[in-house]
Amino acid sequence: MTSPPRQPPRDAAVPHESTTPATTPAAAAATSPPKPGDIVKSPLGFGRETVESVVIAFTLALLFRAFEAEAFVIPTGSMAPTLMGRHKDLVCESCGRDFRVGCSAEEDDQSQSLRAESARLERELASLKSSAKTTDAKAIDANGKMGLEEREMRRRRIEQLESDHGPIGQLRSRLASKLVPAAKCPNCGYGTRLVQVAGEQVRYDPRYPSFSGDRILVDKFTYDFVEPRRWDVVVFKYPEEAKTNYIKRLIGLPGETVSIAGGDIWTSRDGGAAEIARKPPDTMRAMLQCVHDSRHVSADLQQAGWPLCWSDWSPRGQRPTATWTSNDEGRSFSVSGGSTDAPATLRYRHFFPSAEEWEGVRLGESLAGRARPTLIDDFQPYNAIGTRSHWVGDLALEMVCDISDGKGGRLAIDLVEGAAAHRCEINLATGDALLALAGGREGESAAHGSTPVRGRTPVRGKGSWTILFANVDDELSLFVDGRRIAFDKSTAWTRTIGEVPLNRPADFAVEPGSDEPSDLAPVGITAAAADVRVKHLRVLRDTYYIGAIDVGARPGDFLEEDRLEFDLEADQFFVLGDNSAASKDSRLWLEGHHVDRDLLIGKAMTIFWPHAVPASWAVPVKIGGAELRLPSWPNFGRMRFVR
């Protein structure tokens, strides 16, 4: 009599009954499914598992790159200063202002081709010199002597290659012409020489290394769901060569007529009147470029008798109740007391010394009485090649304002464009702001007749605030501590595109005390019955778009028109570079002035890796054809969203 089969323990695997011979443990495992509590080992070896993980990660990265986002390196300066191509970071030796100058030409396709050909010829020269010192079996004649003809050919070739005007010398000259010889400080005009000359050799001063362009992350997914917007920075395939990627700012939308006039963008649809295209607040602020920064004062110019750009505007020969004074060489200014009936004004004039005047400083000459104010123009220090200047009337003032006693007092800022003054006045007791647009009386807008334009600010009583007042794209904007102040009515002032040619600068000189608006004294700060100190004064200008129709005969020259118009059809976009004087964009393309929708790659999101900042004691290390300076630190200051 047989006993009943024993029950297996709970959670144990039950082997299948079979008439086949006993299976191996591995086979048993394959036929018995795992149950809760089992520990199942992977059948793959560690090496294969690792390889598969790497392959999967790489595949996911490629999919992310193909469909979501992709990194790009900015090669040129067409979008400067928003995005930097290959450039040099400089600090003015006279005033201490930091700025950048582009040097993309030293690494463009032509430069690389010239450098490769020069290296080939230098290798040939070295080979010829080496073989001339040894016996060449093929050049031995019947008498055991080197063939005279072969020796003579080598000698002539060596002389040709070593000649100053030979092929190597010519290539070196062409490469030297690609170098940026000097840079000009945008704050004080001081020139920095960037090259060293030793005989026939021209090379960069090692104190000023070149850095690669910004690395940006591009969102390739957004435009599948939302329409591209004006002022987006976009990456697209160059319409005249689809293998090349370009990056520009999107200006015109499908179905529009885009016009460039007076440095601004105008748009219209269906034959309607053109209207100026205004930038969103964040984009407007991001595109402002600094013309003057009071924190950076040139001691060399002051010693030579050059005047400060900011000065008290009290009438000469009178004794006002309050005046603006500075005790730190023009870096900040203060006023105390005064009355509402006798306000004190501080005014900016653009004193920008020329190269000849700087030469006088180097020679120890006095510049007292020689300075003349100039108009603010579209000078771009990033561009090594100078271009024709254009007056810029769209200006802004940013400052830190410390108020120690403001009860009952007022603070006002005025910006002049084309002899018309736009004014913002803040009541320091209540914080109420009142705008006076050009053409209206104080507190009235030309666009609203006699209706006051009012807003409420936190600037009241004692305290410190950062204030930005801007006149950009025919609209006034006020920011306090980074926040835009809302007004009860529109702060835009209107004109037609036909009136743009009439907007000319009033370039007559005015003396302190004059109330007549002049574009040679375009920014003013007025305080009444208050103790005020202003510092970190920055005069800013808007981006100026040049109406270029073709390039000129000389580098940096453009053939221009006062007004350009471009018609866009469905799914066509118009793009421009922020660095209008150095951008090949929709204005200058030969095969159509637009980008088709299917050529758009995506929207630039962030600068995620600008060039690293080398330590002051960094050592240059060459890796392949590139030079690195180690150690270097991440450049966190330029990591930001692209506006």
Find the mean pLDDT for residues 149-158.
Answer: 81
Residue 235 has pLDDT above 60, yes or no: yes
Provide the 10 A C-beta neighbour count for residue 68.
14
Tens-digit pLDDT profile for residues 67-85? 567 888 898 999 999 999 9
Cβ–Cβ < 8 Å for 632, 612: yes
Residue 46 has pLDDT above 80, yes or no: no
Confidence band, pLDDT 50/70/90 cuts, at residue 261 = very high
Tens-digit pLDDT profile for residues 461-506? 899 999 999 999 999 999 999 999 999 999 998 899 999 999 999 9
Question: What share of residues in the chain are helix, strand, coil (percent, to 5)?
Answer: 20, 35, 50
Cα separation, 85 vs 81, in Å, equals: 9
Residue 153 has pLDDT above 80, yes or no: yes
Residue 146: predicted pLDDT: 53
Find the mean pLDDT for residues 609-614.
Answer: 82
Cα separation, 518 vs 407, in Å, equals: 32
Cα separation, 581 vs 571, in Å, equals: 27
Residue 234 has pLDDT above 70, yes or no: yes
Query: What domains can be seen in the chain, in order of their start residue?
Result: 109-177 (no CATH), 289-541 (2.60.120.200)
Q: Distance of CA 330 to CAs 232, 325, 348, Å?
A: 38, 8, 12
Tens-digit pLDDT profile for residues 387-431? 889 999 999 999 999 999 867 799 999 999 999 999 999 999 999
Find the mean pLDDT for residues 294-300.
Answer: 96
Residue 484: predicted pLDDT: 97
Nearest alpha carbon to residue 599 among 220, 64, 65, 70: 220
The DSSP element (H or E) to which 417 belongs, if any, is strand 410-417
Tens-digit pLDDT profile for residues 528-567? 999 999 999 999 999 999 999 988 877 778 889 999 999 9
Residue bearing the bigger pLDDT, 215 or 164: 215
**Percentage of the chain exceeding pLDDT 70:** 81
Residue 149: predicted pLDDT: 80
Residue 11 has pLDDT above 60, yes or no: no
Residue bearing the bigger pLDDT, 41 or 479: 479
Find the mean pLDDT for residues 498-518.
Answer: 92
Residue 25 has pLDDT above 50, yes or no: no
Confidence band, pLDDT 50/70/90 cuts, at residue 251 = very high
What is the rounded end-to-end Cα distance, in angstroms, of the chain? 91
339 strand-pairing partners: 342
Cα separation, 600 vs 26, in Å, equals: 56
Q: Tell me, what DSSP letter sits at residue 452? A: B
Tens-digit pLDDT profile for residues 264-277? 999 999 989 999 99
Residue 144 has pLDDT above 60, yes or no: no
Helices (H), 177-268: none
DSSP string, 30-82: HHS---TT--PPPSS-HHHHHHHHHHHHHHHHHHHHHHTEEEEE--SSTTTTT
| Residue 436 burial (10 A CB sphere; 0-12, 13-18, 19+) | buried
Residue 626: predicted pLDDT: 59
- Only one residue has tokens 């007391």, namely 337
Residue 437: predicted pLDDT: 85
Find the mean pLDDT for residues 17-31.
Answer: 40
Tens-digit pLDDT profile for residues 103-136? 988 776 676 777 777 778 778 788 888 876 664 5
Cβ–Cβ < 8 Å for 600, 575: no
Nearest alpha carbon to residue 539 among 415, 381, 417, 398: 398
Confidence band, pLDDT 50/70/90 cuts, at residue 299 = very high
Name the average pLDDT for the chain.
Answer: 83
Residue 30: predicted pLDDT: 41
| Residue 468 burial (10 A CB sphere; 0-12, 13-18, 19+) | buried
455 φ, ψ to 5°? -150, 165
Residue bearing the bigger pLDDT, 355 or 314: 355
Residue 18 has pLDDT above 80, yes or no: no
Find the mean pLDDT for residues 618-624.
Answer: 67
With 0.75 as the threshold, say if the pTM is over it: yes
The DSSP element (H or E) to which 27 belongs, if any, is helix 25-31
Cβ–Cβ < 8 Å for 418, 617: no
Residue 12: predicted pLDDT: 34
Confidence band, pLDDT 50/70/90 cuts, at residue 345 = very high
Find the mean pLDDT for residues 324-340.
Answer: 90
Cα separation, 533 vs 97, in Å, equals: 22
Cβ–Cβ < 8 Å for 635, 613: yes
Nearest alpha carbon to residue 190 among 355, 305, 307: 355
138 φ, ψ to 5°? -75, -15
Identity (one letter) of the amino acid at 248? K
